[in-house]
């Protein structure tokens, strides 16, 4: 068993889960901050140079897990490791955020999808992307394609 | 404090850290597997549809942490949260891998940079990329630029 203490906490406008945009086409443009604990501030040195960061955090309000579940982006169930469900065996979240600016031990971000007060485990620089044309996105691409056909049909 | 049990383990050709390619221009094309514990196998349902995955894992052989350190890609020190150093306050690793195929509870991957036997905490689908032209890569871009100038100078 591996144990971790938070390095800081998220400040976001989301007080409860239903407020977080979800489902196909959900935009994550929300601004918020990461407030790093004073003892770790020096670990942020030079982070300003990166436009994007990975944030690892705790789904601290998730309750247990389910190995198969239906995500908000689909009407069909999928394995938990093929989704971003909070109800995971190890409830750790991962978000790619845009770093707007740093003020001391506070990072101002765009793209926050965490609840206010979420504990942060780690921050890493986002160094490179897989080119979009090399990505296959399984059930999510299928759900998007079904949704756009239904839209066509309805119009 | 948040505690996590591994959901499985990495099989890789790397028995010790010096064998892992590091530094500027290091390629991560190495093949390896994730072996998920039997009780979590059903959580892999539909994962085959994704070309790339995020793997969260434990730097289980890292020893303590340092808030400022010099990465193998540079001759200058940087804050730990601006690097991928294993010596982090919470020693959790994050790797983007290509999923080659699944056999039951074994995922065959390209792009493994973990040591053999590394504990896995979570697997998530890689859904989208930040376009390369939107990325700023701080000290890493500077180190690459210095390295290519030194190469020119030497030739």
How much of chain A, in percent, has pLDDT values that exceed 70? 99
Cβ <8 Å between A121 and B92: yes
Q: Please, which residues have CB within 8 angstroms of residue B96's CB and are 6 or more apart in sequence?
A: A130, B52, B53, B54, B55, B111, B126
Q: What is the pLDDT at residue A85? A: 94
pLDDT band at B87 (very low <50, low <70, confident <90, very high): very high
Cβ <8 Å between B51 and A136: yes
pLDDT of A95 above 80: yes
Structure tokens, B21: 């390619």
Residues A45, A144: Cα–Cα separation, whole Å = 40
Mean model confidence pLDDT for chain B = 94
What is the length of chain B? Answer: 155
Nearest Cβ partner for B121 among A36, A92, A130: A92
Q: What is the pLDDT at residue A1? A: 93
Q: What is the pLDDT at residue A26? A: 79
Contact A54, B89 (CB under 8 A): no
Cβ <8 Å between B130 and A80: no
What pLDDT, in 10s, does the model give residues B31-81? 999 999 999 999 999 999 999 999 999 999 999 999 999 988 888 999 999
Give whole-number Cα distances, B137 to A80, A129, B66, B109, B131, in Å: 32, 12, 22, 26, 13
Report the residue of chain A nearest B130, measured CA to CA. Answer: A129
Nearest Cβ partner for B126 among A60, A77, A135: A135
For residue A147, give the DSSP letter: H
pLDDT of B25 above 80: no
How much of chain A, in percent, has pLDDT values that exceed 90? 75
Q: Please, which residues have CB within 8 angstroms of residue A106's CB and are 6 or more apart in sequence?
A: A33, A34, A35, A36
Nearest Cβ partner for A136 among B49, B77, B140: B49
Q: What is the pLDDT at residue A27? A: 80
What pLDDT, in 10s, does the model give residues A5-51? 999 999 999 999 999 988 777 788 999 999 999 999 999 999 999 99
The average pLDDT across B81-94 equals: 97
What is the model's pTM? 0.94
Residues A28, B130: Cα–Cα separation, whole Å = 13
Mean model confidence pLDDT for chain A = 94
Mutate to test the interface with B, among A125, A137, A141 (most CBs of B within 10 A): A125
How much of chain B, in percent, has pLDDT values that exceed 70? 99
Which chain B residues are closer than 8 Å to A46 by Cβ?
78-79, 82, 138-139
């Amino acid at each position: 068993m591996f144990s971790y203490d938070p390095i800081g906490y998220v400040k976001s406008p989301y007080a409860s889960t239903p407020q977080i945009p979800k489902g196909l086409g959900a935009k994550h443009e929300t601004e918020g901050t990461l407030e790093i604990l004073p003892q770790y501030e020096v670990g942020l040195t030079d982070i300003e140079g990166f436009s994007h960061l990975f944030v690892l955090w705790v789904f601290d309000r998730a309750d247990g897990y389910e190995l198969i579940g239906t995500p908000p982006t689909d009407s069909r169930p999928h394995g938990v490791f093929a989704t971003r469900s909070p109800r995971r065996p190890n409830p750790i979240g991962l978000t790619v955020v845009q770093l707007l600016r740093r003020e001391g031990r506070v990072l101002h971000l765009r793209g926050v999808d965490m609840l206010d007060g979420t504990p942060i485990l780690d921050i890493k620089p986002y160094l490179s992307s897989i080119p979009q044309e090399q990505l296959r996105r399984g059930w999510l691409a299928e759900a998007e394609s079904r949704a756009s056909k239904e839209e066509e049909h309805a119009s």
